[in-house]
């Protein structure tokens, strides 16, 4: 899943695509480099980000998605939003998936997900971009993995009760959202436990988005987000290996900025697994 942020203030690629033509050209490049899905966002959810109006977010994503479809780009496209109204209009414009950082908590979102019958991503998070940095304390009697798993299980149950189809649900542990660097790393190292037998989440595919995030910079010492390519590839490798060596059974989608490099990495890992090209 390649990231196409149509925002002026995203932490890594804000203001990269100022016109619909630049959006289309970026999408074509990502597809050529190996993208399977495009993730279009019109509102930054980075820590500390200011919210924009629903009208402005809607304008950004609808214009972008319409431009892609009018250019003949038919690759599956998700809308990265937690607002029901934005999701509804994006789906009308041609989006084919809803990627929700708040896992359907906002009014009306689960209903939109259920009625549209498209794939949806339910992500673990806490608070808002303004408050998430202060919400990293979890139940001391359990691990961060168990806390995230139980929260995702609650989100899944609410989605199913609202009529969202089980086979349309993907889960995202929410790296970087209300989590310290150490907590992010623990989640990565134990990804296989999220959907293991007895977890209540067996069979649900996992999506992971760790590309260029702050914890990657803390590990590598790279301060500029755009320069965290190597560290971001390390996150993808950890996902491929499944955290506990459970290769290919946990993470099914990685959300990335650096499509070409990620595709090359996965190609090598797959070739090694097969023992041949």
Measured distance CA(241)–CA(252) in Å, rounded:
11
Q: And the tokens for 163?
A: 């009529």
The answer to whether residue 88 is catalytic is no
Number of helices (H) and strands (E), helices first, in the chain? Answer: 9, 8
The single-letter DSSP state of residue 49 is P
Measured distance CA(155)–CA(250) in Å, rounded:
18
Measured distance CA(229)–CA(276) in Å, rounded:
26
| DSSP per residue, 183-216 | HHHHHHHTGGGTTSTTSS-TT--EEE--TT-HHH
**Of the candidates 56, 77, 55, the residue with the CA atom closest to the CA atom of residue 66:** 77
Measured distance CA(194)–CA(85) in Å, rounded:
30
| Identified catalytic residue from 255, 260, 263, 276 | 255
Give the burial string for 41-59 (b: 16+ CB within 10 Å, else e).
bbbbbbbebeebebeebbb
The answer to whether residue 213 is catalytic is yes
| Identified catalytic residue from 83, 213, 214, 228 | 213
DSSP bridge pairs for 38: 2, 77
Residues annotated as part of the active site: 213, 255
């Amino acid at each position: 899943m390649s990231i196409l942020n149509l925002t002026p203030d995203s932490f890594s690629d804000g203001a990269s695509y100022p016109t619909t033509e630049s959006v289309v050209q970026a999408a074509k490049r990502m597809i050529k480099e190996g993208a399977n899905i495009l993730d279009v966002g019109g509102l930054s959810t980075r820590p500390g980000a200011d919210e924009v109006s629903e009208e402005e977010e809607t304008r950004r994503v609808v214009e972008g998605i319409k431009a892609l479809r009018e250019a003949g780009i038919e690759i599956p496209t998700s809308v990265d939003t937690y607002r029901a109204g934005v999701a509804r209009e994006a789906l009308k414009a041609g989006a084919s998936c809803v990627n929700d950082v708040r896992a359907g908590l906002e009014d009306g979102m689960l209903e939109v997900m259920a009625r549209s019958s498209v794939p949806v991503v339910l992500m673990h998070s806490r608070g808002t971009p303004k408050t998430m940095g202060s919400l990293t304390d979890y139940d001391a009697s359990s691990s961060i993995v168990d806390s995230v798993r139980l929260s995702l299980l609650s989100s899944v149950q609410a989605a199913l009760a609202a009529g969202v189809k089980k086979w349309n649900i993907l889960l995202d542990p929410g790296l970087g959202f209300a989590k310290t660097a150490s907590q992010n790393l623990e989640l990565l190292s134990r990804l296989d436990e999220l959907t293991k037998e007895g977890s209540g989440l067996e069979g649900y595919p996992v999506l992971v988005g760790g590309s260029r995030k702050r914890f990657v910079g803390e590990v590598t010492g790279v301060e500029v987000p755009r320069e965290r390519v190597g560290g971001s590839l390390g996150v993808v490798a950890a996902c491929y290996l499944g955290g506990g060596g459970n290769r290919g059974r946990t993470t099914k989608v990685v959300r990335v900025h650096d499509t070409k490099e990620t595709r090359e990495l996965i190609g090598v890992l797959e070739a090694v697994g097969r023992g041949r090209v």
